[in-house]
């Protein structure tokens, strides 16, 4: 689904211009890059949609169990988590599984990528909060928690993160890795999104959305957003507005204009009734540019010209490519990209039977050459 809004005298009109029935079960997660929208489902598949061409791009079939979380880092990588306890790093260009990590003994319930792309946090049903080194694809730290957390989220600058357990939100500081305070919502929290480094929007099993200050832990404001529980939220900024989008079990998607003073309730820009029981939400912006690079170490900026930087990159390209392949070697034994088949086969990376046979012949020829 794409949510498009036009503005004329502050009257916004949402228009659904792409609809596709790809999954055989309900959706459980969604993620968006500048070109692709991916959806995860209880049918154990991840479907990819090319929003530029408005087509179904295929399906990833690596996981066993419900897909619980999906996150893009820029346009280069997609990270998925599922009930099988796995976290998978995908190449979002070739759609290959670069790394498959047994992350939790139970289900992976949620994950969040640090703005730098070097770290990720995950929570699962094994009562642990785990920190991941995405550069090396390994566990960096494990923290035992008293209960199963179901949401974890980094702040925009990555200086803090929140861990949600039922109606409690623990605020952690990155430099100390300890809880600086706890926010208590009235009911079980279903979604959180940072509006700034210190202001957190919280939705729960109720009609109300609340804004909390992560430093004082006080509620800045609250407003009635829907007639039923709010299932998911997403915030983004345009040159003119700071917008928060909410989706509810009542079937409505609503867009709200945030005020500079978060103590003042936002104003409704538009709403649309999908006539569906909504479970998750994503916002695709056609003007999004890729400001985030790969999950590999970022190169520190240096006071040299772009031409000189380009020459240096070319000289070091061979060594960098070898290093990347060593760190993120594609794990293609049990994963791949399938076409629009109703029953995708795990391990297939092909769109049709004809293409599968062609690739098999090429693989046989390659293996014969290697033997010679």
Which tens digit of pLDDT belongs to each residue from 289-335?
444 444 443 323 333 334 444 444 444 444 433 433 344 444 544 44
Residue 111 in 3-state DSSP?
strand
Alpha-carbon gap, residue 289 to 284, rounded angstroms: 11
User: Length of the chain, please?
Assistant: 372
- Sorted by sequence, the CB contacts under 8 Å of residue 200 that are 6+ apart come out as 162, 169, 183, 192, 193, 194, 211, 212, 213, 214
What's the pTM? 0.76
Query: Which residue ranges in the chain fall short of pLDDT 70?
Result: 1-11, 287-372
Other Cβ atoms less than 10 A from the Cβ of 53: the count is 10
Q: Where are the alpha helices (DSSP H) in 205-341?
A: 306-327
Element (H, E) at 321: helix 306-327
Q: What angle do CA 191, 64, 49 make, to 5 degrees?
A: 60
Other Cβ atoms less than 10 A from the Cβ of 358: the count is 12
- Sorted by sequence, the CB contacts under 8 Å of residue 301 that are 6+ apart come out as none
Instruction: Specify which residues 30 forms β-bridges with.
Output: 39
**Per-residue pLDDT at 287:** 62
All domains of the chain, ordered by start, with CATH? 27-228 (2.130.10.10)
Query: Which position has the token pair 């502050």?
Result: 10
């Amino acid at each position: 689904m794409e949510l498009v809004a036009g503005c004329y005298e502050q009257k916004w009109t949402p228009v659904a211009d792409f609809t596709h029935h790809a999954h055989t079960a309900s959706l459980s997660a969604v993620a968006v890059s500048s070109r692709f929208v991916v959806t995860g489902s209880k049918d154990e598949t991840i479907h990819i949609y090319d929003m530029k061409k408005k087509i179904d791009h295929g399906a990833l079939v690596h996981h066993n169990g419900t897909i619980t979380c999906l996150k893009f880092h820029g346009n280069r990588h997609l990270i998925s988590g599922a009930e099988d306890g796995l976290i998978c790093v995908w190449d979002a260009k070739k759609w290959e599984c670069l790394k498959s990590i047994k992350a939790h003994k139970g289900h992976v319930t949620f994950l969040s990528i640090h703005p730098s792309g070097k770290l990720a946090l995950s929570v699962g049903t094994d009562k642990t909060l785990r920190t991941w080194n995405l550069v090396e694809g390994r566990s960096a730290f494990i923290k035992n928690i008293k209960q199963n957390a179901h949401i974890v989220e980094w702040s925009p600058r990555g200086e803090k993160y929140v861990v949600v357990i039922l109606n409690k939100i623990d605020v952690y500081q990155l430099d100390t890795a300890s809880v600086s305070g706890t926010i208590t919502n009235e009911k079980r929290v279903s979604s959180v999104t940072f509006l700034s480094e210190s202001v957190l929007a919280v939705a729960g099993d109720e009609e109300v959305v609340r804004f909390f200050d992560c430093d004082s832990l006080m509620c800045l404001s609250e407003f009635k957003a829907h007639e039923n529980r709010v299932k998911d939220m997403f915030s983004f900024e345009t040159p003119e507005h700071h917008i928060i989008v909410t989706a509810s079990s009542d079937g409505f998607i609503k867009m709200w204009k945030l005020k500079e003073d978060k103590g003042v309730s936002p104003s409704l820009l538009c709403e649309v009734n999908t006539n569906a029981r909504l479970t998750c939400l994503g916002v695709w912006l056609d003007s999004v540019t890729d400001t985030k690079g790969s999950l590999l170490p970022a190169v520190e900026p240096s006071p040299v010209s772009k031409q000189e930087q380009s020459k240096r990159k070319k000289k070091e390209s061979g060594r960098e490519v070898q290093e990347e392949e060593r760190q993120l070697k594609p794990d293609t034994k049990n994963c791949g990209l399938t076409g629009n088949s109703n029953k995708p086969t795990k391990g297939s990376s092909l769109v049709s039977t004809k293409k599968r046979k062609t690739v098999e012949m090429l693989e046989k020829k390659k293996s014969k050459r290697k033997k010679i």
